Amino acid sequence: MSSRVRVYAELVGSVALWGGTWVSGRMLAQDMGPFSAAFLRFLAASAFLFFLSCRTEGRLPRLHLRDLPQLTLLGLFGVSLYNYMFFSGLKTVPAGRAALMIACTPTVMAVYAALFRGERLGLVRFSGILLSLCGAAVLLSHGDPLHLFTSGVRPGDLFIVGCVFSWAAYSLLGGTVMARMTPLSAVTWSCILGMVLLLPASLSQGLAADVARANLTDWGNLLFLGVAATGVAFTWYYRGIRELGASRAGVFINLVPVFAVFLGWAILDEPIGLSLVTGAVLVLCGVWLTNRKPAAGR
């Protein structure tokens, strides 16, 4: 296998693993409390990333005090809050539908950039935002957006919407940190700090009892989420960035909800109805338009 083919295979593998997190998280959320699941996931992830960092960089990346506040915020938004809402939402929300709602994150980031950073949206990007929001409304309402006005949004769906804003905050905060640290260092420390932030809540919410009654499937899901979907997928994805560049590698992220929908159907027998397909098309087209760069002038 040529190096270029291997890179593309690893990129597809990384997004397939990330798509699988929604199925694995859905299964784990039925057996374990959200704080316990989140803490144990990132206990495994932190241990794996610690050894990966020592192997890659020769030691655990040095933590400078100037970076501690931002890394703590990364751990708060990208690990603690996101994963609490991730497992809480997946108790009731099907894996494929939840993943498609998370795909709206770039739209939220574009709106933030327009409101607080003065970036111009333009007609194309504004149309993309509207398409994404329409797609999210179709997904949240199961194909009847008017239902949102009469009955509101279900609690599980609210948790997944919270994931969108939490991941958008993590992505926006991460840019400044990664200007001074390698991505592996930033992710390793944000995982460790996020795990520490999760510990008090997980202990008070029944961590010991959840560990005692966890079965082999639960431990398998935790290892998949912590090692395969965090450590291995991260390694493959950033190798792709190094070989192909961030823009070309980043295109593969759009496959995550596609894999999640397919795996949810294949493993969990989740139906793929008209509302899911319609919402998916609207969200993914909207995200593509939102992220589209304007054509260069002469």
Per-residue pLDDT of the chain (298 residues; tens, 9 = 90+): 577 788 889 889 988 999 999 999 999 999 999 999 999 999 999 999 888 888 877 777 777 888 888 889 989 998 999 999 999 999 999 999 999 888 888 888 888 878 777 777 788 888 888 888 888 888 888 777 777 666 667 889 999 999 989 988 887 777 677 677 777 788 888 899 999 999 999 999 999 999 999 999 999 999 999 999 987 887 788 777 777 776 567 667 778 888 999 999 999 999 888 888 998 898 888 888 887 665 544 3
Say if residue 219 is exposed, middle or buried (CB neighbours under 10 Å; 0-12, 13-18, 19+): middle
In the chain, what is the straight-line distance between the N-terminal and C-terminal CA atoms, in Å? 41
pLDDT at 296: 45
Q: How far apart are CA 144 and CA 138, in angstroms?
A: 6
Residue identified by tokens 């989140």 is 38
Structure tokens at 272: 């793929």
Interior angle at CA 60, CA 59 and CA 64, nearest 5: 120
Classify the C-alpha dihedral 32-37-39-43 as positive or negative.
positive
pLDDT at 297: 43
For 60, which DSSP code? Answer: P
pTM, full prediction: 0.86
Q: How far apart are CA 193 and CA 162, in angstroms?
A: 20
pLDDT at 250: 64
pLDDT at 158: 92
Q: How far apart are CA 15 and CA 12, in angstroms?
A: 5
Structure tokens at 22: 């929604």
pLDDT at 188: 86
Say if residue 195 is exposed, middle or buried (CB neighbours under 10 Å; 0-12, 13-18, 19+): buried
Q: How far apart are CA 239 and CA 142, in angstroms?
A: 38
Of 87, 90, 101, 69, nearest to 193 by C-alpha is 69
Residue 24's contacts (CB-CB under 8 Å, 6 or more residues apart) are 221, 224, 225, 229
Enumerate the domain spans of the chain: 3-291
pLDDT at 82: 93
pLDDT at 298: 39
pLDDT at 105: 82
Q: How far apart are CA 228 and CA 265, in angstroms?
A: 21
For 30, which DSSP code? Answer: T
pLDDT at 178: 67
H-only helix segments in 60-104: 68-74, 82-89, 95-102
pLDDT at 123: 85
pLDDT at 24: 96
pLDDT at 247: 58
Amino acid at 131: L
H-only helix segments in 90-228: 95-102, 105-116, 122-141, 146-151, 155-178, 183-204, 207-213, 216-223
